[in-house]
Amino acid sequence: MRLEKILLEKFHFSSFRKGQKEIIQDLVKGKNVMAMLPTGAGKSVCYQLPGYILEGTVLIVSPLLSLMEDQVQQLKSRGEKNVIGLNSFLSYQKRKSALRSIHRYRFIYVSPEILQSDEVIHALQKIKISLFVIDEAHCISQWGHEFRTDYLKLDDVKNKLGNPPCLALTATATEMVIKDIIHQLDLSDVVKHIYSIDRPNIAINVKKVESLDEKIKGTIEFVKSLQGPGIIYFSSRMWTEKMTLILRENGINRVAFYHGGLENDDRLLIQQQFIQDQLDVICCTNAFGMGVDKANVRYIIHFHYPSQIESYLQEIGRAGRDGNPSIAILLYCNEDHDLAKSIVLHDLPNYEEWALVFTLISNPIQKPSLHELELMMYERHGISEIKWRFMKYQLEHEKVYVNGSVNLHIGVEDAKIKILNIVHERARLKQRDLAGFKRWIEDVDRCRRETLLWRFDQMLENRPECCCDYCNFDIQKYGNDGKISNTYIFTDWEEELKLILKQSGEGQNG
Ligand code: ADP
Ligand code: MG
């Protein structure tokens, strides 16, 4: 009963959701836990509640700044004062003062990057970490779809912090990824809480179209007829903007685009407008979504499909968090397969880029420091941040660089071959995953839900009334009865500013 009481007092929830109590019970006993619960299931409560029982501080590793800030704000709004997000955006002064008073915090959210700072580790070593939480733990796995190099160093961090009990959380991991997470974190005697990742209230509709033109028309039709709000995913920034224009031309005004190329302010504004129902549709890349805790998203459309089934599951999981009927629509035509293939290798440094790096390193006259190499790669060779992070990780991991300088005691040729092999293997895996997802998309002879779950080694327990395009399915159910709101609202600062300037200009003229 005690747990229910805390749940009510601290979180104002009257009962636990599936899995929460079982996980919390194990955590308060001091066990290591690996948990998989579907998106929106309420994973945060699983580590926040023990924070009020265990003695010490709960340390949470979170992959995204926005995610971290959301959680911090949410705890604060519930009256928790002793919570902080430590990340690279905290000013130097604030960080210093936070580290000085580190004892007072019940919850500390950290980015994986900041855990590489000695100063932060030293401060954390002075306090008792009651629980070490790794949120979105699939990022740890080299087989996980969001493979992030700084996540790989967390086992080391865990050791430095005296091996506190650990909770790894994910909504999307195959059995192989789960095994890898446990291995990477070196979790002994781990208790696994793996729940069905099925979201019965989301109907799945995969639809083949004959051409790009048909796909655009189909998208417009869906947006006009479906009950919003909705999210449309694209694989390129350009397309998010293009479709936003097309939709506006078709009378749908409460739509905006969102991608990583936007200024932070714009991104926040659009996210807020969507959350507050001022926008009906977001055309976005996969930069949008994580940390957007919006309960009433009614549809997800994939205009382009992602490169892995795990990403697909995570993206469609953003619909229907309130439990109400929602729909996931994937539109594809033959050309999409080539597009997906070319994108899948995009984030991996290619052979030429590695060759370049090794030529620079092998310069007998002047060997660049890691920092110099970074600048050269960014500024002279225009490499993307994702690629550089991967390169940096490999160069350090293979000890080509030690403490920021070229390691003269290592055979560079051997290291090069080793790294190229790793890259080759990752490329192979990515292509394999993409091919697997494509097979799922094209498999029209079986229940979508069943085959989706199979990929995660799960069985379908109950078939929902509205299941998928293979089973039973009535698109009318998701209609908006012809009602769409058309009140225009501003969608970005620039546009707003332009209009204000224009109006004031007109005022002067008139
Ligand atoms: P996840 O991390 O699993 O995607 P979150 O922890 O962000 O999910 O929670 C999703 C939503 O569910 C949040 O708005 C949260 O407040 C709510 N929630 C969590 N646990 C409960 C509960 N026991 N009862 C009602 N709502 C809950
Ligand atoms: Mg979460």
Nearest atom of ligand 1 to the alpha carbon of 41 = 3
* Other Cβ atoms closer than 10 A to 436: 13
* Other Cβ atoms closer than 10 A to 480: 15
Q: Please, are residues 452 and 309 in contact by the beta-carbon 8 Å criterion?
A: yes
Alpha-carbon distance values, 7 to 13, 22, 49, 308, 317 (Å): 6, 14, 7, 36, 25
Residue 288 DSSP class: S
**pLDDT tens track for 234-263:** 999 999 999 999 999 999 999 999 998 898
CATH architecture of 202-341+445-507: 3-Layer(aba) Sandwich (3.40)
**pLDDT tens track for 291-302:** 677 999 999 999
Binding site membership of 199 for ligand 1 (Cβ less than 6 Å): no
Q: How far is CA 183 from the centre of its chain?
A: 22
**pLDDT tens track for 50-83:** 999 999 999 999 988 778 888 999 999 999 999 9
Give the Å distance between the CA of 319 and the centre of ligand 2.
14
Closest Cα to atom 17 of ligand 1: 42
Cα separation, 24 vs 34, in Å, equals 12
Cα separation, 304 vs 330, in Å, equals 8
What is the predicted pLDDT for the residue at 145? 65
Answer yes or no: CATH 3.40.50.300 is held by domain 3-195.
yes
Which residue intervals of 345-461 are DSSP H helices?
351-361, 370-375, 385-397, 412-442, 448-454
Cα separation, 59 vs 166, in Å, equals 10
Instruction: Give the containing element (helix H, strand E) for 499.
Output: helix 493-509
Closest Cα to atom 21 of ligand 1: 42
Does 202-341+445-507 match 3-195 at the fold level? yes
Ligand located closest to 171 CA: 1
Name the residue ranges covered by the structural domains of the chain: 3-195, 202-341+445-507, 351-434
- Type of residue numbered 396: E
Binding site membership of 47 for ligand 1 (Cβ less than 6 Å): no
Of 137, 121, 74, 116, whose CA–CA distance to 396 is shortest? 116
Cα separation, 386 vs 460, in Å, equals 36
**pLDDT tens track for 111-143:** 998 998 999 999 999 999 999 999 999 988 877
Of 447, 476, 219, whose CA–CA distance to 332 is shortest? 219
Question: Which SS3 state, helix, strand or coil, does residue 63 take?
Answer: coil
Residue 140 DSSP class: G
Cα separation, 23 vs 28, in Å, equals 9
Q: How far is CA 422 from the centre of its chain?
A: 24
User: Which of 7, 8, 12, 17 to mutate for ligand 1's pocket (most ligand atoms within 8 Å of CB)?
Assistant: 17
Nearest atom of ligand 1 to the alpha carbon of 15 = 23
Question: Which SS3 state, helix, strand or coil, does residue 168 take?
Answer: strand
What is the predicted pLDDT for the residue at 497? 47
Cα separation, 383 vs 375, in Å, equals 10
Mention every residue, 6+ apart, whose C-beta is less than 8 A from residue 75.
48, 83, 107
Cα separation, 181 vs 510, in Å, equals 67
Q: Which two tokens stand for residue 126?
A: 């002075």
Bridge-based pairing of strands 281-284 and 230-233 is parallel
Binding site membership of 45 for ligand 1 (Cβ less than 6 Å): yes
Give the Å distance between the CA of 8 and the centre of ligand 1.
13
What is the predicted pLDDT for the residue at 258? 95
Nearest atom of ligand 1 to the alpha carbon of 20 = 23
Q: Please, are residues 106 and 35 in contact by the beta-carbon 8 Å criterion?
A: no
Per-residue pLDDT of the chain (510 residues; tens, 9 = 90+): 599 999 999 999 999 999 999 999 999 999 999 999 998 889 999 999 999 999 999 999 998 877 888 899 999 999 999 999 998 778 889 999 999 999 999 999 999 989 989 999 999 999 999 999 999 999 888 776 666 778 888 999 999 999 999 999 999 888 889 999 999 999 989 999 999 999 999 999 999 999 999 999 999 999 999 999 999 999 999 999 999 999 999 999 999 999 988 988 898 899 989 999 999 999 999 888 876 779 999 999 999 999 989 999 999 999 999 999 999 999 999 999 998 988 888 878 989 999 999 999 988 888 999 999 999 999 988 888 878 888 998 899 899 999 999 998 888 889 999 999 988 988 898 899 999 999 999 999 999 999 999 999 899 999 999 999 999 788 888 998 766 554 444 445 455 445 444 444 333 333
Binding site membership of 293 for ligand 1 (Cβ less than 6 Å): yes
Mention every residue, 6+ apart, whose C-beta is less than 8 A from residue 155.
184, 185, 186
Binding site membership of 466 for ligand 1 (Cβ less than 6 Å): no
User: Which of 20, 44, 197, 294 to mutate for ligand 1's pocket (most ligand atoms within 8 Å of CB)?
Assistant: 44
Of 228, 359, 234, whose CA–CA distance to 289 is shortest? 234
